[in-house]
Amino acid sequence: MEIHKKQIFLEKGISTVCIEYQFIRGIKRYFANVKFDAVIYSTPPITFCNAIEFVRKRDRATTYLLLKDIFPQNAVDIGIMTKQGLRGIIYRIFRAKEKKLYRISDHIGCMSQANVNYILEHNPEIDPNIVEVCPNSVEVIDMSVEEEIRKDIRRTYKIPLDKKVFVYGGNLGKPQGIDFMIECLKSQEKNKEVFFLIVGDGTEFDKIEAYVHRDKPSNVRLMKRLPKEDYDKMVAACDVGMIFLDHRFTIPNFPSRLLSYMQAKIPVLAVTDPNTDIGKVIVDGGFGWWCESNSLKGVNKQLQYILKADLSTFKRKEYCCLKEHYSTDISYRIIMRAINH
């Protein structure tokens, strides 16, 4: 299994490096007579530098980077890459790519203020005037469900009706700190009031699967990824959404899965490193809880708070926050203001 994971990582790395040359060929072939006014791109990946620079020079286009993740430092944080040895060479190649991407970007939109601060601190050559908050966004749709529908959905997926259901949906990989997630699940195996639903896939899926098969916890259910429509309905039938991030991160991640929880109007428990400000956003917004992802005691304490809370009081604040800060209309206006400046 470990050899297979390394093979996938190597294949993904090679394809990520090679894809920009395919983009350039495609632009020359299919868009030779098309002039682009703007180029909007996101990270990851960071390996589109040459393709972006080609269009920028050819068409004098304005470039806007949506900085979704900070690579390669995120890979260093969780041990996928190092700054020494052979992997250090790979790190320096990608770091140079990252620096070039910032250099050819006329504007950089970050997921949160913590991301803005991080980028400017670690890349002092960047003009602060081109960096702004342009958060992950989503169409503001009320995805919550009525009580009877909620019960029907729970029956369909064999989710208990009489317990507080905590759902985690999304990638199950190294960034999520799966070992600590399993520790949290283990610590609650005897708790009759809670039920954990884990839905997703990723390189660490087999770890949780092995735990579930071995320990057979009665209050944990693990499912593979579902079609989006089915997943959204199931999330809305749960009580609390969960976000996990590895405690080793020094970069301020801001997972987009927060938005699906907000659409469903279910409060959020964020278990993360202290460098991201997603926990602050959730707590300050009044629609959830936060604790560090290296403190089992802290997680269990938050779970006790949640079990005593009236969760219905969180819905209005959460949906208002979604409309005020994370709608696609807001992101659109931020990007267009920069491009038209």
Q: How many angstroms separate the CA atoms of 248 and 339, rounded?
A: 36
Element (H, E) at 336: helix 328-340
Tell me, what's the pLDDT at 226? 84
Of the ranges 24-28, 123-127, 184-188, 289-293, which one carries the lowest mean pLDDT score? 24-28
**Average pLDDT in the chain:** 91
Nearest to 237 by CA among 139, 138, 141, 152: 152
CB 87 within 8 A of CB 39: no
What pLDDT digit, counting tens, does each position of 271-318 carry? 999 999 999 999 999 999 999 999 999 999 999 999 999 998 898 899
As a whole number, mean pLDDT of residues 239-254 equals 96
3 state DSSP class of 212 = helix
As a whole number, mean pLDDT of residues 63-89 equals 90
Helix, strand, coil percentages, rounded to 5, for the chain: 50, 15, 30
As a whole number, mean pLDDT of residues 249-264 equals 94
pLDDT of 130 above 60: yes
What is the residue type of 159? I
Residue 44 or 88, more confident: 88
Q: How many angstroms separate the CA atoms of 165 and 243, rounded?
A: 14
Model confidence, pTM: 0.88
Query: What's 90-148 look like in SS3?
Result: HHHHHHHHHHHHHHCCCEEEECCHHHHHHHHHHCCCCCHHHEEECCCCECCCCCCCCHH
